[in-house]
Amino acid sequence: MSSVKSRTRSDYGYFLTYRTRWSDNDIYNHLNNVVYNILIDSVVNSYLITHCGMMPTTSPSIGLMVSSNCTFVSSCAFPAVLELGLRVNKLGTSSVTYEVGIFEEGVEGVKAVGGFTHVFCDSIHRRPMKLLRPYREGLERLLVRDVEEEDMREEEESVRYRSAKL
Q: Helices then strands (H, E): number in the chain? A: 3, 5
> What whole-number distance in Å separates Cα of residue 148 and Cα of residue 140?
18
Per-residue confidence in pLDDT tens, the chain, 166 aa: 458 999 999 999 999 999 999 999 999 999 999 999 999 999 999 999 999 999 989 999 999 999 999 999 999 999 999 999 999 999 999 999 999 999 999 999 999 999 999 999 999 999 999 999 999 999 999 999 864 454 445 455 545 544 455 5
* Spatial separation of the C-alpha atoms in residues 54 and 33, rounded to whole Å: 27
Q: Which amino acid is at 9?
A: R
The single-letter DSSP state of residue 31 is: B
Q: What is the pTM of this model?
A: 0.85
Q: Is the domain defined by 4-164 classed in CATH 3.10.129.10?
A: yes
- From the CA atom positions of the chain, what is the Rg in Å? 18
Domain residue extents for the chain = 4-164
